[in-house]
Amino acid sequence: EAGVVQSPRYKIIEKKQPVAFWCNPISGHNTLYWYLQNLGQGPELLIRYENEEAVDDSQLPKDRFSAERLKGVDSTLKIQPAELGDSAVYLCASSPRTGNTGELFFGEGSRLTVL
């Protein structure tokens, strides 16, 4: 069974530029999460989807971050414009059960560097 797939693995951009990350969850997993992980810290939830519905986006900085999961499968996270403080690893995770069970399967992450 294929795991959670994320791309790109690495991205370097200048500040104020846009950037987008893509995630394809494990087949059949209806719940999808985007997390942000800073160096030396644990992951922090940005947004959680149940199918195509964003059921928890309270931690998403909506002035510059947006996300979508149009068909309830793959998802895109966008930052526009990027700031220096956005440099981090963006992790996508999925879960086979509806609701937040805490049992998450993570992708390899997308490491963003903003110069």
Partner 1 sequence: QKEVEQNSGPLSVPEGAIASLNCTYSDRVSQSFFWYRQYSGKSPELIMSIYSNGDKEDGRFTAQLNKASQYVSLLIRDSQPSDSATYLCAALDTGGFKTIFGAGTRLFVKA
Pairing, β 65-68 against β 88-95: unpaired
Question: Does 53 sit near partner 1 (CB under 8 A)?
Answer: no
Cis peptide bond prior to 81, omega within 30° of 0: yes
Task: Tell the smallest beta-carbon distance from residue 81 to partner 1 (Å).
Answer: 27
Buried b (16+ CB within 10 A) or exposed e, 37-55: beeeeebebbbbbbeeeee
Task: Tell the smallest beta-carbon distance from residue 1 to partner 1 (Å).
Answer: 15
Task: Tell the smallest beta-carbon distance from residue 77 to partner 1 (Å).
Answer: 15
Question: Does 99 sit near partner 1 (CB under 8 A)?
Answer: yes
Question: Does 109 sit near partner 1 (CB under 8 A)?
Answer: yes
Of the two residues 39 and 70, which places its CB atom closer to partner 1 in the complex? Answer: 39
The CB-side HSE value for 101 (13 A sphere, CA atoms) comes to: 14
Question: Does 100 sit near partner 1 (CB under 8 A)?
Answer: yes
